[in-house]
Copies of this chain bind each other. A is one copy, B any other.
Amino acid sequence: MRLSTKGRYAVMAMADLATHEAGSRPVSLADIAERQEISLSYLEQLFAKLRRNGLVSSVRGPGGGYRLSRPSEEVRVADIIMAVDEPITATRCKPGSAKGCATQGARCITHDLWEELGRQIHVFLSSVSLADVVEKRVLGRAQLDLQSSEVPAQDGDSRAAA
C-alpha cells in the first residue's frame, strides 16, 4: 500500500462524488475540480484509473460525468488508493533485488516490521468506507488495542508527530 498525495486526491474526489451524487445525474469532473481545487487534467488521469478498476462508471456528452459503480458504503478507502497508486515495489524486498533486502539470500532484519506495518495500514484503510469519510466517521470502526505498552514515555515527544 503506497501513500501519496495522488491517493489522497483520489479519495477527496471520490468523497466529493459520493456527496454530490444526488438523483440520477452524473457528476462532471469540472465540478469536482472546482470544488476540491484539483486541476481538471489531473482529475482525468485519476478517474481513468478509477474507471479501469471498476470503482466508477462514466457517462459522456452534455450532462455526462461520473457515477459511483457501487454504493458508497461498499467502497473501501483502500480500494481507491490501490486503484490510483502503482502496485509499488513492495518494500524493495524482492527475491531478485541485489540491494536493501534479501541480504545474503535471507530476508533483511526489518522485513517483518514493514510487512506488518503495511498490513496495519491496509486493515485500517479497508475498514473505512467512502460513506464513513463523507459522514466523518473515521474513528471507532477500527481501533488500535495496545496491550502492555512497556515503552516509557520519552522526553523528546515534543517533536512533530503524525
A residues within 8 Å of B by Cβ?
Answer: 1, 3, 5, 8, 11-12, 15-16, 19, 35-37, 53-54, 73-74, 76-77, 79, 82, 87-88, 90-92, 98-100, 103, 108-110, 112-129, 133-134, 136, 138-139, 141-152, 154, 156, 159-162
Contact = CB atoms under 8 A, between A and B. Distances in A.
B159 A87 contact: yes
A16 B109 CA distance: 8
B144 A109 contact: no
**Chain copies in complex:** 2
A113 B11 contact: yes
Contacts of A16: 109
B125 A12 contact: no
